[in-house]
Chain A
Amino acid sequence: MKLIPKMSLRTLYKALDMGIWKLRYKVFIVAIYSILSVFLYKSFIAIAPVACAIAIVNIRRYRKVLLIAFYIFMLSVISQGFFYYGYYEGQSVHIILWILRPSTPLLGTITGGIALTLEGIIHGVIVGTKIVTLMLLGVAFASKTKVSEFVPFLKKYSHDLALSVAIVLRYIPIIADDFENAYNGLLTRGTLKIGKFKTLKLLFKAVIVNLSKRAESIAISMYFRGHAR
């Protein structure tokens, strides 16, 4: 008798595809992982691979995202490894490498010494795993959730939140577009030789004035579309 049903890789891949999940399941899994990341410590590492597997299935350019995740993870390990809070609180730690001994005149006395500790590395791995897991889940969620699906969902719970999310989602590409258009405006007028600082100043002026005008127009529009109370 087979206790475990036969599951091919393809079936597993399909099961992990957030694109076919209902929105509430997607929100549920992101929420559960967020809560567990607060309450679990070492045991979070045991559940992290599931989230990472979901992320790899759902993120289209997963290699690029994984590379960024790796950098973040390493940053966490290195920063925690060298600046572990337990060391400064006087806990007993295993020193792997001294960078600056506490006995070093001036700098050592001021900083209390800097050392790479085993406990710091472990803490960095745990913190890094939490950050990376939540980041990957977030990216996977964003990749496989249409805004048109998400906004009505938010609207059910909070109209203001839905509106804010909708505006933010539109504003991010608008800011990028405005910068690009303003830059192109200078480019096409052949005025980019005026120096980097002046170019930046001009770009910022054009973009900020345009964005403030847009903000005013959005405020007007919100009143007429019944969103301002």
Chain B
Amino acid sequence: MPWLEFSDLKVMFNNKAISFGELEIDDNYVLIHGKSGSGKTTLLHTILGVIPNVRSVKVSGRIRLMDISSENGHSIDSFKKVARRSFLVLQEVDHNLFAKNVKDEFMLDFERVPMEILRLMGIDNLLERDINELSYGEKQKVAIAIALSHGADVIFMDEPLAHLDVKSRSNFKRILRKLLALEKRIVISEHRTHYFMDAQMKVKVTNQGVLVEEPQDMNIWSKAFDHVEKRTNVEKCVLRTKDLEVSLGTFFIHDVNLEVYEGEIVGLIGANGSGKTTLAKALSGIIDYSGDILLDGVKVRRKDLWGKVAYMHQNPDIQLFETSVLREISLGAKEDVRPYIEVLGLKKYLHMDPHTLSRGERLRVVVASILSTSPKVVILDEPTSGQDPESTLRIVDAILKFKRSVIIISHELELIKGICDRVYLMKEGTIHEIDPKNVSENVI
């Protein structure tokens, strides 16, 4: 007997309706995949009763999760029952956490800190750390550890790999296997489908409803960038650092000597919490540093970097200011915005509020907004999180078409290998240049 089933399931937003149709699940390990904005998160929220109880959206159709049935969406009582027996790890990692430090996070839910789970996740060293000081990847590990500690029958995870480094992803797979051995039910919504090809059931969310379908390509990330030509005759160095040092509380980055040439795509990789974002913020003049930063060969002050080295934050929401996509992209634009809208596939969203779009679409809006301000160097911090390969390709195409010098921070090693001319590895508080061909899980 299926443990989850729904029929004629439809969710009606103000401006659109998503019809999920029907589905029966009796496997314990399920992967949900589909394009950015196809409705994967909405489906999870509807199955669990978050919609319509927390997010007030109209639902029609029947849902049965374990022995909890509902008509036209879960009522508040059945939602509470569902919440007691299942767990949802949200896509926005830091929204899962609401205490000041890691220890409090666990002490709120339990009598003692489940150290064995923290060790399993490799975060036992983070126990006394302030949540706000953790990297996104570390926050994601804490959120997953909380989910595991609750021992729910079913665990739903929305983009659990989005911010994890490659080693943590392998570790996550090991944990999944352990959970499955304990007969837990796992439902994962992910774009990185190749990590979950062993899932017993793969469900694709499309505009026509849900379909039981294998992802089209096992590892689309590796093939997606075959057409990208590497730039070999780059001459003009636009950004250079000399013995750059950044100190942030107890965290310290030192001896950073980095070069970015005109039109070049530079990758910055490293483990969670290694300091990639801190370095990016220093390079864009957001935080203080010591040492020298040279733009076009001229030493500049921190203030001079503003507007010339643009930084895209991991959280797109905090970089969306306007009431429509068009106004957002035009804000501070120094050139015609139409090519950016075209290449990033944002034409149909122009008059929509950017906050109503999916995470992947919001990221594309932020990328377009940043590129249209014509900075000399653009730093994209994890531009692929929450993105399907197609959306990622749109971002890559935009970068290549507009010939900007770009630093990409990503855990997507295939992307880094595929499009980056040079790669820097962040390790032990400093950077080392490595050959893009040698980029692999082992070097991180």
A-side residues, CB < 8 A to B, are 147-148, 151-152, 155, 162-163, 166-167, 169-170, 173-174, 177-178, 181-182, 184-192, 194, 202-203, 205-207, 209-210, 213-214, 216-228
B-side residues, CB < 8 A to A, are 45, 50, 54-55, 79-80, 83-84, 86-88, 90, 92, 95-101, 103-104, 107-109, 128, 130-132, 146, 150, 152, 281, 284-286, 306-311, 313, 315, 317-323, 331-332, 355, 369-370, 373, 375
Given known pairs A188-B284, A190-B373, the reply for A182 and B321 (CB within 8 Å) is yes
Instruction: Apart from A151-B108, A188-B284, A190-B308, list 16 A-B contacts with CB within 8 A.
Output: A148-B103, A148-B107, A151-B99, A151-B107, A162-B108, A166-B99, A174-B132, A185-B313, A190-B307, A191-B307, A191-B332, A202-B331, A205-B322, A210-B315, A210-B318, A217-B95
Determine if A155 and B107 form an interchain contact, defined as CB atoms under 8 angstroms apart.
yes
Determine if B150 and A170 form an interchain contact, defined as CB atoms under 8 angstroms apart.
no
Q: Which of B80, B128, B323, B375 contacts A190 (CB 8 A)?
A: B375
Given known pairs A184-B311, A188-B286, A223-B54, the reply for A209 and B319 (CB within 8 Å) is no
Given known pairs A174-B132, A223-B79, the reply for A191 and B331 (CB within 8 Å) is yes
Q: Can you list 22 contacts pairing A with B, beta carbon distance less than 8 Å?
A: A148-B103, A151-B99, A166-B104, A177-B132, A182-B321, A185-B319, A187-B285, A187-B307, A188-B310, A189-B375, A190-B306, A190-B308, A191-B373, A192-B306, A194-B331, A207-B318, A210-B317, A221-B96, A223-B54, A223-B79, A223-B80, A224-B87
Given known pairs A182-B321, A220-B54, the reply for A190 and B332 (CB within 8 Å) is yes
> A34–B346 Cα gap in the complex (Å)?
59
Given known pairs A147-B104, A148-B101, A223-B79, the reply for A202 and B321 (CB within 8 Å) is yes
Residues of A within 8 A of B285 (CB): 187-188
Residues of A within 8 A of B90 (CB): 217, 220-221
From A173, which residue of chain B is reached at the shortest CB distance? Answer: B132
Shortest CB distance B43–A (Å): 15
> A191–B50 Cα gap in the complex (Å)?
37
> A203–B285 Cα gap in the complex (Å)?
19
Shortest CB distance B283–A (Å): 10
> A207–B317 Cα gap in the complex (Å)?
9
From B92, which residue of chain A is reached at the shortest CB distance? Answer: A217
Given known pairs A166-B98, A220-B50, A224-B83, the reply for A189 and B320 (CB within 8 Å) is no
Determine if A170 and B86 form an interchain contact, defined as CB atoms under 8 angstroms apart.
no
Residues of B within 8 A of A203 (CB): 321
> A89–B240 Cα gap in the complex (Å)?
73
Residues of A within 8 A of B86 (CB): 224
Residues of B within 8 A of A185 (CB): 313, 318-319, 321
Q: Which of B103, B130, B332 contacts A194 (CB 8 A)?
A: B332
Given known pairs A147-B100, A166-B98, A170-B98, the reply for A152 and B318 (CB within 8 Å) is no
Would you call the interface of chain B mostly helix, strand, loop, or mixed?
Answer: mixed
Residues of B within 8 A of A192 (CB): 306
Given known pairs A182-B318, A226-B84, the reply for A216 and B55 (CB within 8 Å) is yes
> A219–B322 Cα gap in the complex (Å)?
26
Determine if A206 and B317 form an interchain contact, defined as CB atoms under 8 angstroms apart.
yes
Residues of A within 8 A of B107 (CB): 148, 151-152, 155
Residues of A within 8 A of B309 (CB): 188
> A182–B108 Cα gap in the complex (Å)?
30
Residues of A within 8 A of B370 (CB): 188-189
Determine if B313 and A181 form an interchain contact, defined as CB atoms under 8 angstroms apart.
yes
Determine if B373 and A189 form an interchain contact, defined as CB atoms under 8 angstroms apart.
yes
> A217–B92 Cα gap in the complex (Å)?
8
Residues of B within 8 A of A151 (CB): 99, 104, 107-108
Determine if A170 and B286 form an interchain contact, defined as CB atoms under 8 angstroms apart.
no
> A181–B375 Cα gap in the complex (Å)?
18
Determine if A147 and B99 form an interchain contact, defined as CB atoms under 8 angstroms apart.
yes
> A205–B215 Cα gap in the complex (Å)?
38
> A169–B105 Cα gap in the complex (Å)?
12
Determine if B100 and A170 form an interchain contact, defined as CB atoms under 8 angstroms apart.
yes
Which of A191, A192, A210, A221 counts the most B-chain CB atoms under 10 A from its CB? A221
Determine if B95 and A181 form an interchain contact, defined as CB atoms under 8 angstroms apart.
no
From B127, which residue of chain A is reached at the shortest CB distance? Answer: A148
Determine if B104 and A148 form an interchain contact, defined as CB atoms under 8 angstroms apart.
yes
> A166–B332 Cα gap in the complex (Å)?
38
Residues of B within 8 A of A225 (CB): 108-109, 146, 150
From B147, which residue of chain A is reached at the shortest CB distance? Answer: A224
Given known pairs A167-B98, A181-B315, A205-B321, the reply for A223 and B83 (CB within 8 Å) is yes
Determine if B310 and A181 form an interchain contact, defined as CB atoms under 8 angstroms apart.
no
Determine if A187 and B286 form an interchain contact, defined as CB atoms under 8 angstroms apart.
yes
Residues of A within 8 A of B373 (CB): 189-191
Determine if A170 and B131 form an interchain contact, defined as CB atoms under 8 angstroms apart.
yes
Given known pairs A152-B107, A189-B370, A226-B84, the reply for A221 and B322 (CB within 8 Å) is no
Given known pairs A182-B319, A202-B321, A228-B80, the reply for A189 and B369 (CB within 8 Å) is yes
From B103, which residue of chain A is reached at the shortest CB distance? Answer: A148
Residues of B within 8 A of A205 (CB): 321-323
From B112, which residue of chain A is reached at the shortest CB distance? Answer: A152
Shortest CB distance A200–B (Å): 11
Top 4 A-B pairs, shortest CB-CB distance: A190-B307, A217-B95, A191-B332, A202-B321
Given known pairs A147-B104, A151-B107, the reply for A206 and B132 (CB within 8 Å) is no
Determine if A206 and B79 form an interchain contact, defined as CB atoms under 8 angstroms apart.
no
> A184–B107 Cα gap in the complex (Å)?
34
> A119–B142 Cα gap in the complex (Å)?
58
Shortest CB distance A165–B (Å): 9
Shortest CB distance B220–A (Å): 29
